[in-house]
Amino acid sequence: MKFLRDALDKVKPHFEKGGKWEKFYYIYEAHDTLLFAPNHVTKPTGVQIRDAMDMKRLMMTVIIAMIPCLLFGIYNVGYQHFLATGQPDAGFGDIIWIGLVQVIPILVVSYAAGLGTEFIFSVIRQHPINEGFLVTGMLIPLVMPPAIPLWQVALATIFAVIIAKEAFGGTGMNVLNVALTARAFLYFAYPSQISGDV
């Protein structure tokens, strides 16, 4: 990990005040604090709770706790596929493969669209990138139907990040759940595709 720390320290002057990439400092800082614990501490005045767990580490714990839900979702998508096609005795590997093929693209698009929107808002507003979307990016695929078009996932994710999160000031200040806002947007914008056959 020393080589990674050295590489980040080597490019840090370019992102600091007066550097050629100064306006992208918060994108650099997001990567730096995701990989390594930040070196700043609280002020000595007042009562403070000090712990090695900062918000990024806490969110990573939540992501790890959500992995079993994602794995079961992958299994369930594959199982429901084979059940619907009249092959309830399909093998476990086939079930997992179909689930992965359906769920992983939704997960990738959710993270790409959401984090891209967060990065853009960070550069425009010059504020740190919050770690809340690391959890939201995994929740969005869990509330979406598996056959949803990927462009709708991207559109709903961008809408939810802008309207439900950034419009209220970012992580911790939003009054709406971002993942459920994405789902509600799709439900009202594309009702025939989100509700299935009637």
The residue extents of the domains of the chain are 1-48, 51-195
CA distance 195 to 146: 12
Cα dihedral 117, 121, 127, 129, rounded to 10, equals 0
- Per-residue pLDDT of 3-26, as tens digits, reads 788 888 888 878 888 888 887 887
Cα dihedral 67, 71, 73, 74, rounded to 10, equals 140
Query: Out of 70-79, 126-135, 143-152, which region has the weakest mean confidence (pLDDT)?
Result: 126-135
Residue 17 pLDDT: 84
* Segment holding 71, helix H or strand E: helix 55-84
Q: Residue 162, SS3? A: helix
Residue 40 pLDDT: 64
CA distance 164 to 54: 24
Tokens 């690391």 — which residue? 134
**Tokens linked to 150:** 């990927």
Structure confidence at residue 197 as a pLDDT band (50, 70, 90): low
Residue 5 pLDDT: 81
49 pLDDT higher than 80: no
Angle separating helix axes 2-15 and 25-35, nearest 10 degrees: 160
What count of Cα atoms within 13 Å lies in the side-chain half-sphere of residue 186? 25
Sign of the CA dihedral with 74 first, then 152, 55, and 26 last: positive
81 pLDDT higher than 60: yes
196 pLDDT higher than 70: no
Residue 41 pLDDT: 64
- 185 contacts: CB under 8 Å, gap ≥ 6: 155, 156, 159, 160
Residue 170 pLDDT: 74
Compare 131 and 144 and report the one with higher pLDDT.
Answer: 144
Is 73:110 a contact under the CB 8 Å cutoff?
Answer: no
